[in-house]
Structure 1
Amino acid sequence: MIPVPLVRRLIKLKFKLKRSKIFALAFAVILLAIILALLYMYAENVNFFTALYWAVITMATIGYGDVTPNTLLGRIIAIFASIAGIATFTAFVSILAEYFLSGSIRRMMGMHKVKFKDHYIIMGRGESVESALLELKDAISNKQAENRPIIVVLPDENERKRLNLPEETEVIIGEFTNRETLERVNVRDASHVLLALDDDSESVFVTLMIKQISKAKVFVEVLKHESVHLLKQAGADRVITSRTLTGRLLASSIFEPEVVDVIDDITTALGDYDITSIKVQEMEGKTFREAFEALYPRGLFLLGYAKDKIYLIPPLDEKIPPGAKLLVIRSTR
């Protein structure tokens, strides 16, 4: 069995060779057309544009018949143009078709390069990648997040088969620690990068690489609590300790399972309820009670607000400061 990385390298090399052949052959076709046009212009005593038009039409074997040679030399040039045109155009179309076919194969294998800007990138392994993608797509559809392209980066084809990603998902296959992979996803111009790599040391290294070449915000899933400080030093904008939360939920399942069910529901937009933050300018300056009473009929249960930090269940007479985001629970049904 041929190793997949070797196949990728061979296709990549072939792709570069085909691209260089296309440019070389296109140049040859243009040069040949110009030479034939100059010869025809001399033989038939016509202007250059007419001669060039005749050369292209003849080489392409279209032959409208509106411009025809009247001299012996012109007819000899026409014979040569027809033969040369069939050869060069056939070769050009053949290589061009193979070039686009190679591009399709590269895209199928996740080896292509994207040119998006201000896009989202999700890199990692396992179900965290899938859940992050679905959550982000749902937030975009609900206009909670900006509508931008989403790129998913996976380590290999097996990981892509294992995950249940939407068919239209743009997937790049590559090593996370490889700079070439980061260049293919254009991390330099990305707006946000989500890392779920299931290896804290790898997360630190990838975060450092991203921050060296990009101003994108990097959010990282960490497995060990002691890695949080390292990732923040590496430049991570936000670090989520997933296993600590999982352990707490597992323990809470024993004595307060209902709380676990509620947390499981509101932490994902795919459940019946969703906890989210919204900005409602008209609520600024109102008391918490006034804001609560105004939002409740809209199906929004006000929990608090976020300004410089999180304020949950503040005093009822406390005013919502300007620029604050309101934290609410809403029904998704």
Structure 2
Amino acid sequence: MKIRFKNILRDPANRLLVLILFFITFIGFLLYIVEFGKNPEIQSLFDAFWWLIVTIATVGYGDIVPKTFLGKIIGIIIIMSGVTLFSLISGSIASLLVEWRIKERKGLGKVKFKNHLVILGWNNHLEKTLEAMGKFIKIDDYYIVLVNQAEEEDYENFKSKFPNLNIKFIHGDFTKENVLKRANISYAAYIIILSDTYGGRSLEECDERTLISILLIRTLNNNAKIFAEVIKEEKAKYILRAGADDVILGNEFNSILLSSALLSPAYHMLLREIASLDKMRVKLIPLPKNFIGKTFIELFNYFKRTSSSIVIGLVSMRKEFTIDDFLSSDSAIDNFIRQKFEEAEEDFFEEEKKDDYDLNLNPKDDYVISENDKYIFIIE
């Protein structure tokens, strides 16, 4: 407690506020001693402080007034200094509120949330991770605390993209215990650690910082679920031993995998199994031409029956546009326009003729396969 009180007194505004409160308390007790037993209006310490506060605030109800000579002298002092004291108290309180707001905006404050989500680190996966979370959980029910060394401007720009989320910012190095304590890491329910590339850190340094932070977190919180992004695969086993519940190797699926881990371990395992590059469960193969004109359910049943594979979607080439798609054949104006295009001897639809594909995931059973459908995605 002594250390905390000394920290409070370091601020000039706090020292002034403490001094004013001490002065008011002293005057209140002094007035009570002087007036008690001689003034029927002051029968208790509360009566003395009531008169003191009403006078300092310049309200002046007049229900209690000093009767003794010393009491009136005290009254004169309080009346003459009341406006100044009230202004100083108001200014000190306003200063504390402004200071608190500035600290919060700069990420220098602390949070008192419990069962919250903490995201350590900053990289280009952060925004996508929060977007993906919205697809798996009701994210606006969570308090989210970001802990990193990003600049205030970067954080404000980031927060403006998620106006409906309860996001707080803690600025600092998340490998330091005092920074983690400001994020109330001891009471966090979920912790996601991103490879912190902010400020141009090397990839080697990112994994080392992740390992250090997990070791530190586990000394403060043994119950939180920790999911860590790892750059180098050989570091994954050490991070798991340090206390991470799961690791996600750096790739384009990180945002989805990190987010799905919050929903359910089973869901997370499913996505990672499908996206696993070494097993190559998902394959893209050419569409057998004999299925053109048939329905999707016929294609689905064929692959399920012959190879135990599941067809999950079609890749279609977009139709090429020609001048005839826009002009009719029975209009004099259209014939004139067609003639001018032919005279120009230039293909104005050249860009549209470049290969351009659409992905059609899980088409309806009665979807009729056309010549524009070129490939199929299957899960083996």
TM-score, structure 2 normalization: 0.56
Compute the displacement of 1:52 (Å). Answer: 2.9
Which amino acid is the alignment partner of residue 190 of structure 2? H
Q: Distance in 2 between matches of 1:56 and 1:161?
A: 42
Which has the larger displacement, 148-157 or 185-194?
148-157
Q: Distance in 2 between matches of 1:60 and 1:330?
A: 72
Find the partner of 2:92 among 90, 95, 112.
Answer: 95
Find the partner of 1:207 among 201, 214, 226.
Answer: 214
Which residue does 2:183 correspond to in 1? 185
Which amino acid is the alignment partner of residue 235 of structure 1? G
Q: Distance in 1 between matches of 2:241 and 2:144?
A: 27
> Which structure 2 residue ranges, 5 or more long, are not aligned?
1-6, 197-205, 261-265, 269-308, 311-360, 364-380
Which residue does 2:147 correspond to in 1? 153
Higher CA-based Rg: 2
Compute the displacement of 1:205 (Å). Answer: 0.7
Which runs of structure 2 are paired with 1:241-252 in the superposition (5 Å)? 241-243=249-251
Q: Percent identity?
A: 26
Which has the larger displacement, 48-57 or 66-75?
66-75
| 2:70 matches 1:62 | no
Which residue does 1:170 correspond to in 2? 168
Which residue does 2:231 correspond to in 1? 223
Which residue does 1:47 correspond to in 2? 43
Quickly say closer, same or farther: Cα 1:13–1:266, change in 2 above 3 A. closer
Tell me the secondary structure at the aligned position of residue 239 of structure 1. Answer: strand
Q: Distance in 2 between matches of 1:219 and 1:97?
A: 41
Compute the displacement of 1:197 (Å). Answer: 2.3
Compute the displacement of 1:26 (Å). Answer: 2.6
Q: Distance in 2 between matches of 1:204 and 1:84?
A: 60
Q: Distance in 1 between matches of 2:227 and 2:88?
A: 49
Preserved CA contact (<8 Å) 2:116 2:144: yes
Preserved CA contact (<8 Å) 1:127 1:163: no
Q: Distance in 2 between matches of 1:265 and 1:205?
A: 25
> Which structure 1 residue ranges, 5 or more long, are not aligned?
1-11, 247-263, 270-275, 279-311, 314-328
Compute the displacement of 1:234 (Å). Answer: 1.0
Q: Distance in 1 between matches of 2:236 and 2:162?
A: 31
Preserved CA contact (<8 Å) 2:195 2:231: no
Which residue does 2:263 correspond to in 1? none
| 2:137 matches 1:129 | no
TM-score, structure 1 normalization: 0.63
Which has the larger displacement, 79-88 or 233-242?
79-88
Quickly say closer, same or farther: Cα 1:330–1:201, change in 2 above 3 A. farther
Tell me the secondary structure at the aligned position of residue 197 of structure 1. Answer: coil
Find the partner of 1:27 among 2, 22, 35.
Answer: 22
Compute the displacement of 1:40 (Å). Answer: 3.4
Which amino acid is the alignment partner of residue 56 of structure 1? I
Compute the displacement of 1:245 (Å). Answer: 6.0
Q: Distance in 1 between matches of 2:256 and 2:143?
A: 27
Find the partner of 1:235 among 231, 239, 243.
Answer: 243
Compute the displacement of 1:31 (Å). Answer: 3.0
Preserved CA contact (<8 Å) 1:43 1:73: no
Quickly say closer, same or farther: Cα 1:243–1:136, change in 2 above 3 A. closer
Quickly say closer, same or farther: Cα 1:183–1:119, change in 2 above 3 A. same
Q: Distance in 2 between matches of 1:121 and 1:267?
A: 13
